[in-house]
Amino acid sequence: MYQSKKITEGALLLAIFFAILLLSFFVPFIILFAVFLLPIPFVIYTAKYDWKIASILLAIAILLSLLIAPMISLPLTVLVGLAGIMIGFSIYRRSSAYETWARGSIGFIAGLLFIFLFSQFVWQINWSEEIQQLVEESMNVSQEFFAQFGIEEQTETLDMLEDQFKILIDLIPAMISIVAIILAFITQWISYKVMNRFQNWQLHFPPFRSLRFPTPIIWIYFFTIILMLVIQDVDSILYVGSYNLFMIIGFFMALQGFSFIFFFAHYKNMSHVLPVTSVIVTILFPFIFLYIIRILGIIDIGFKLRERLSERK
């Protein structure tokens, strides 16, 4: 009876998965939401029956995806399947929401790396060449822009812009990691809502103001900065790796800074206007405010601002 129930639920969830997948093929804009919805069947199944039986479900989904536009459906199925199983397994283990988020991020990173390699060897897309071509096109547009205003000699400015664009090639690992973290959070949040609604679970994220990263992350952050200052060859693997780690931890520091702003607003019994406005302004003007938010996050962790405020209260 129990085995029959698992097979029936697996077939039902697999049918829902392919319904969403096919809908995303026929309605283009659905694909923007499908990335967050497609992992949910795997999340639900893994959360109830562990990762081993869910892996069989993923294997069946991969085989069936070969019959439906395999060049697109195969990498997409691997991506959402790995992420869904990682999130679901963490729920199965009754892990905390943030630990589940971390495991989901690892699942998305693995899936995105698979898509990256799949595009390199199957689609024959060389991302380094594509980004280089994008840089050249952007430089041509910039030169035409300066020429229209009669500014012919802007060699230093154009060289600086070219260097900034070329950094994108080195930051591919960091961009994959940050995108995976964002995808995991949204997918997990939607999964919680669906499972609470249809499975009567009680899953939720703790308040964002309670988000705290461990203190050692600061020392890793400063170590990467020192390493980048010491290394002279900016093209070396060690420098590129340090720069990617710097960007990833910087993203965490920004999250910590926003979390403190939400905590401070709650501490002062203020409305959510201040913290929400800080997020919006930082997104609109990242080159100005992002560094301030990072510094705030570092101070919050290093000097334990929340404990000091709580003791004072």
Cα 81 to Cα 103: distance, rounded to the nearest angstrom: 13
Q: Where are the domains of the chain?
A: 1-124+172-205, 127-166, 207-313
Question: What is the separation of C-alpha 64 from the centre of its chain, rounded to a whole number of angstroms?
Answer: 27
- Three-state SS at 272: coil
Residue 170 pLDDT: 76
DSSP string over 4-72: HHHHHHHHHHHHHHHHHHHHHHHSGGGHHHHHHHTHHHHHHHHHHHHHHHHHHHHHHHHHHHTTS-HHH
Is pLDDT of 231 > 60?
yes
Q: What is the mean pLDDT of the chain?
A: 83
pLDDT tens column, 140-156: 666 666 566 555 555 55
Cα 171 to Cα 190: distance, rounded to the nearest angstrom: 29
* Lowest-pLDDT choice from 122-126, 134-138, 159-163, 305-309: 159-163
Which amino acid makes up residue 186?
Answer: I
CB count, 10 Å around CB of 67?
A: 9
Q: Which residues contact 200 (CB under 8 A, 6 or more apart)?
A: none
What is the model's pTM?
0.83
